[in-house]
Amino acid sequence: MIPLDRYPKEITLRDDARMILRPMIPEDADGLWSFLRQLPEIDKSHFHEDVDQREVVERWAKSIDYDAALPILAIQGDRVLGSVTLYRNKTGWKQRVGIVRILIAPDHRHLGLGTAMIREIRHLGEKFALNYLLAEVIEEQQAAVRALERMGFEKTGVYRNFVNDRKGHLHNLVVLLHPMSGLEKEMFY
């Protein structure tokens, strides 16, 4: 069962700005489109599809499947300011590993929104009884790496020239893992 009863959830940033966190719904297509357009190029590197195409975003919004990917948006008025998505496998050997992707609007960085999104995804990871959260970040995104580490993610590897951005330039990939509370109870070695 997906633990969505905590939404909409109000949060307050360091500058006292208030916003709500809630799962994305199909009607968020416009807001998500505007949000993605303001992101710097490097933040869009991980997408498998061209998010500069509006029809791609509209298709995402129509095909939301919370069991596979649960996107939580930070919304102020009608503006999307951030998103954190928890990707899960329903079956298979990685079904207890959740993959995390976080995006923050450039004009709302350094206010604690990224950290709030990490707190939220840790909470969801615990509620889904995951054993690990996994985050992959391009090494240049140092603020994100530091925030993840401060929230309990451990850097497990840096892969040199491992990923390419949308222009084909290579970047180092930082992989971080967050062990969840249920893990210790299950370990058998």
Partner 1 sequence: MDATSIDLRRAYHQLERLLNGIAVALETEDIPAARLDLGKAVEALHTAGPGEEGPEALRYLDHALSYAHRVIGDLLHEKGLPPHSPADFAEWYDAGEVPFREDW
Number of residues that bind partner 1 (CB under 8 A): 33
Q: Which of 52, 58, 126, 136 binds partner 1 (CB under 8 A)?
A: 126
Between 59 and 146, CB nearer to partner 1: 146
Distance CA 80, CA 77 (A): 8
Task: For the CB of residue 46, give the shortest distance to partner 1 in the complex, in Å.
Answer: 17
Restricting to residues 62-121, name those near partner 1 by CB under 8 A: 104, 109-116, 119-120
Q: How many CA atoms are closer than 13 Å to the CA of 121, on its beta-carbon side? A: 37
* 16 lies in the site for partner 1, by CB under 8 A: yes
Contact 76, 18 (CB under 8 A): yes
Residue 135, both tokens: 């985050």
Distances from the Cα of 127 to the Cα of 5, 28, 96, angstroms = 12, 25, 12
The residues that touch partner 1, with contacts defined as CB under 8 A, are: 9-14, 16, 18, 104, 109-116, 119-120, 122-123, 125-127, 143-144, 146-147, 150-152, 180-181
